[in-house]
Amino acid sequence: MKNKHKFSLLFTIVAFLTLFLTGCSNNSSSTASNNQITVNYTLKQGKKTVSDKSVKIPKKKAKVITGLKKAWKVQETKGFITSIDGKKQNPKKKIYWTYTINGKWATKGADKQAVANKDKVKFTLDKVK
């Protein structure tokens, strides 16, 4: 009878710990994912796609420039991008970096423009008319 009681107690403890630890691990991973968003960035040179990356960035710092700098080497002046991954704009030839978010032209510099989860940001280096 004592063995049966010990077995029941051991089984209950193992079941409790399994449920407890499973619950803890799920909560911590969902909390981590709640603090980050994923943004898709595409780089184009003219009509040619040069690079395409999905980047995770903190929700608190969800600006266009945050993910861009995480994925590529970027140079900027006052929030306006002057070079990405060594590809520089050329003001004399009127070639500049411009960008859209979800197909709409941005109205702010990359350091001020907010992004949301699953946004699609496309940077294009091309002649501006």
Dihedral pair phi/psi, residue 83, rounded to 5°: -155, 135
Query: pLDDT digits over 33-43, tens only?
Result: 689 999 999 99
pLDDT of residue 16: 53
Could you tell me if 110 and 83 are in contact, meaning their C-beta atoms sit under 8 angstroms apart?
no
Cα separation, 68 vs 74, in Å, equals 7
pLDDT of residue 29: 46
Cα separation, 1 vs 57, in Å, equals 58
Beta bridge partners of residue 87, listed in sequence order:
84
For the chain, the distance separating the N- and C-terminal CA atoms, rounded to the nearest angstrom, is: 90
Looking at the predicted structure, is the pLDDT value of residue 31 above 50? no
Mean pLDDT estimate for the chain: 85
